Amino acid sequence: MALALVLPVLLAVIRLLPATTAMSWFAHPWLAVLTYVPISVAGMLIPRISVAEKLMASGSIDASGNMVGTHLIPGNGFFSFIWACFLLAANSLLKTIQAKFRRSSLLNFSLYALSLAVPILISLYVGVMLWQTLQEKMGMAGSIPHPFGFFVADIIMAATSGYVVILALSPLIPVAGIWLASSRIVLFLVSLSILGASVSPQFFPYNTYAPKRILLQRTFSTQGQRILGADYDLAVFDANSLPFVFKNVEAVPKFLGLEPGFSWKTVSKSPSGTWMAIYPISRLFVESYRFSAGNKVVLKDDQRLPHIILQNVKEDILNPDRKRIYVEIDMGSLHEVWASVLNITGPLTSWSFSDERLPEVVNGGPPSYICRLSGKDTSENWKFWLEANTSKPLQVDLAVLDHELDDDTRTLLHLFPSWAATIAGSTYLSSYLI
């Protein structure tokens, strides 16, 4: 069982060491099956080439697995319980048949496998569903910085393939190993996996049915009714980073004003707080890049930017060290607001949200409280109050995400190919000390 998990993971790592593209199986699931399943089966057969295990060992393992699984996750041990029950019955049947026929008779194995058809089918059904779900979710599971992030998705799929093989086939190996545990068969299975690993770099990992998720944000830094800067921020959600996209879509870096053969060391990373408007989705990726929009943004005559209005500050008579600040959020002239996010840093003691209770904050920096306001209140501004100690001012960061795009952002969005599912929006960032 250990080899069934370790060998496919080891193959996944070795395959990616010289490669520049991960997740070749994402749009071609059969590639993952060809690459990881045969070597996982081979891993279960290798110890049996020289050592013959008894059938009851498998039943003991399933009974132990039931006990451990139930302890770790309640209700998770039913697989092992079903297997253990059927294995006990199959063991009795096998002993009866072996008394009448040869111990290594093919009839013995056929009847033994047939008696385990129910748990095999249940395990295959659940295992395949688990495998397929994870395979699809790897495209939106989030990105981790290189070099480790490059390997994560393939390692997860390799380990999952090994787990499904163990789940469905491990109880058959003690008997099937009599015929299958030979050097030639193991070598054939390993060769199949090496073939899959060898041809996988020739396949492009994405298509229209299994697209690459890309996040495009036109970021406006504002102060009052002035735009201080406008940039493009880009992020991805899987193991193939943004350089992979630019390598395969040359029109995008050209639009952004990047010279051919540019170095990624010269490209700026997105500052902290850039993706605050989509929090907590922003936690799915830890690396994103910022590109200058190039042209100066001029507001239209009827355009108003979202901003915070300080209405009133009242000091607590009974406690002079505290103050209550009454605030409004004016969405300006935005019409397609998806969300507004407040990030409040400082000596906040209470607020008018969440039944006036602050959430627990666990981090290494100063206390930071985040509140999401969905959509836009068409009748009036969002109104709330903040209560804080008077020792230090509060810093209130506001991020407003609008679905409406300007002409330049729409042009950039249309440059991405059909295999890229690009989500785009305009975010207005501002900061206040109150």
Three-state SS string across the chain, please? CHHHHHHHHHHHHHHHCCCCCCCCCCCCHHHHHHHHHHHHHHHHHHHHHCCCCCHHHHHHHHHHHHHHHHHHCCCCCHHHHHHHHHHHHHHHHHHHHHHHCCCCCHHHHHHHHHHCHHHHHHHHHHHHHHHHHHHHHHHHCCECCCCCHHHHHHHHHHHHHHHHHHHHHHHHHHHHHHHHCCHHHHHHHHHHHHHHHHHHHHCCCCCCCCCEEEEEEEEEEEECCEEEEEEEEEEECCCCCHHHHHHHCCHHHHHCCCCCCCCHHHCEECCCCCCHHHCCHHHHECCCEEEECCCCCCCCCCCCCCEEEEEEEEECCCCCCEEEEEEEEECCCCCCEEEEEEEEECCEEEECCHHHCCCCCCCCCCCEEEEEEECCCCCCCEEEEEEEECCCCCEEEEEEEECCCCHHHHHHHCCCCCCEEEEEEEEEEEEEEC
pLDDT at 215: 94
Q: Extract the residue ranges of the chain whose pLDDT is less than 70.
A: 50-77, 98, 101-105, 295-296, 298, 301, 316-318, 360-367, 375-379
Q: Residue 411 has what pLDDT? A: 94
The reported pTM is: 0.82
* pLDDT tens-digit map of 288-344: 999 988 766 767 767 889 989 888 777 766 677 888 889 888 888 888 888 888 888
Q: Render pLDDT for 139-167 as a digit per residue (tens, 0 to 9).
A: 888 888 888 889 999 999 999 999 999 98
Instruction: State residue 64's pLDDT score.
Output: 45
